[in-house]
């Protein structure tokens, strides 16, 4: 398995396993593709995504680090990890025929003393782990989020389960905190919600593609659900006007009031596993 020139000439690592294929761009260590043989792609990638230096890829699993959104004093949305070139440490087939790729982000002047690694395991499912280690002698406050885009057949028919009873910040319009009352959330307009203290698994029920996508995670207290819907989609230059119909973001991380503080010598290990089952 070797790094090749991908879209826009960006370096990309293609991965094949007995069950699946995947692609990882070194730009942002972005897993842009994961697909089981004979199934629709699990991850959504916009046909309009940019593939150029210093630009985030619109789709797959953008790595949001070390801040989420655009906190005061920050000029870029969602941190710097997703727009920088990562280095491939190694990639190897494991004894169980899965493939493990490990990547690292070169030291960032914005966060001295903090090292970032990303481990991607491709097999019957897709597993990712973002490891931040604080080698400095001071506490480091940070947010992390795996901003995962999932392919759906028709957003109108999709239901999300696993969030009932969870408090969330509704970021559409004036920000207000609510409680999720629906056992099965239907997306029928713009949705942009940060669910707090939500370590549980979320399921995407997709009757059009006749599958359920399961999003399991560890060391993640926040779940973000996002679909730009029609008006916002038209404002995104790297996103097709009608692509909102075929995607939903269910993101796993620790953001806002769930942010992390890493003590000297400590590390954070944000993990997520994605797999599908027939419905
Ligand atoms: O998914 C949550 C969110 O913060 C939304 O508010 C929206 O901005 C989305 O991320 C995409 O952000 P991006 O910077 O990738 O366009």
Q: Identify whether the C-beta of residue 25 lies closer than 8 Å to the C-beta of residue 6.
A: yes
Predicted local confidence at residue 13, as pLDDT: 98
pLDDT at 73 over 90: no
Region of residue 11 (left: phi > 0; alpha: psi -120 to 50; beta: else): beta
Average pLDDT score over residue span 160-187: 97
> What SS3 class is residue 229?
helix
Residue 216 annotated to the active site: no
Instruction: For residue 225, give the ligand 1 atom closest to its CA.
Output: 1
**104 neighbors 117 (Cβ within 8 angstroms):** yes
CB of 249 sitting under 6 A from ligand 1: yes
Q: Is 251 noted as a catalytic residue in this protein?
A: yes
Say if ligand 1 is within 6 A of residue 143 CB.
no
Number of H helices, E strands in the chain: 1, 23
H or E element in which residue 231 lies: helix 229-235
Q: Dump pLDDT digits (tens) for 233-268.
A: 999 999 999 999 999 999 999 999 999 999 999 999
Q: What is the pLDDT of residue 1?
A: 85
pLDDT value, residue 182: 94
Q: In the beta sheet, which residues pair with residue 31?
A: 24, 61
Do residues 34 and 126 make contact, with C-beta atoms less than 8 angstroms apart? yes
Backbone angles phi, psi at 234, to 5 degrees: -70, -20
CB 154 within 8 A of CB 175: no
- Relative to the CA of 69, which ligand 1 atom is closest? 4
Instruction: From 77, 169, 170, give the residue whose CB has the most ligand 1 atoms within 8 Å, as the site to mutate.
Output: 77
92's enclosing H/E stretch is strand 87-93
Average pLDDT for the chain:
97
Q: pTM for the full model?
A: 0.98
Q: Is the pLDDT of residue 115 over 90?
A: yes
């Amino acid at each position: 398995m070797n790094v090749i020139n991908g879209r826009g000439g960006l370096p990309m690592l293609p991965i094949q396993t007995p069950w699946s294929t995947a692609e990882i761009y070194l730009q942002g260590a972005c897993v842009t593709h994961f697909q089981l043989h004979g199934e629709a792609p699990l991850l959504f990638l916009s046909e309009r995504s940019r593939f150029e230096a210093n630009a985030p890829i619109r789709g797959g699993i953008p790595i949001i680090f070390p801040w989420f959104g655009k906190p005061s004093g920050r000029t870029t949305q969602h941190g710097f990890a997703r727009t920088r070139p990562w280095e491939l440490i190694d990639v190897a087939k494991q004894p169980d025929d899965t493939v493990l790729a490990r990547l690292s982000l070169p030291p960032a002047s914005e966060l001295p003393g903090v090292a970032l690694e990303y481990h991607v395991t491709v097999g019957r499912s897709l597993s990712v782990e973002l490891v931040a280690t604080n080698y400095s002698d001071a506490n480091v406050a940070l947010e992390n989020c795996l901003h995962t885009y999932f392919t759906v057949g028709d957003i109108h028919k999709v239901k999300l389960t696993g969030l009932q009873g969870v408090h969330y910040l509704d970021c559409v319009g004036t920000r207000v905190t609510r409680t999720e009352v629906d056992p099965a959330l239907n997306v029928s307009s713009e949705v942009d919600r940060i669910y707090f203290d939500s370590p549980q698994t979320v399921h995407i029920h997709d009757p059009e593609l006749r599958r359920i996508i399961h999003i399991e995670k560890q060391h993640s207290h926040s779940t973000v659900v996002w679909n730009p819907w029609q008006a916002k989609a038209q404002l995104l230059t790297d996103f097709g006007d009608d692509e909102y119909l075929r995607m939903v973001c269910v993101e796993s991380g620790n953001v806002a009031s769930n942010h992390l503080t890493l003590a000297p010598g400590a590390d954070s290990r944000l993990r997520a596993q994605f797999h599908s089952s027939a419905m």
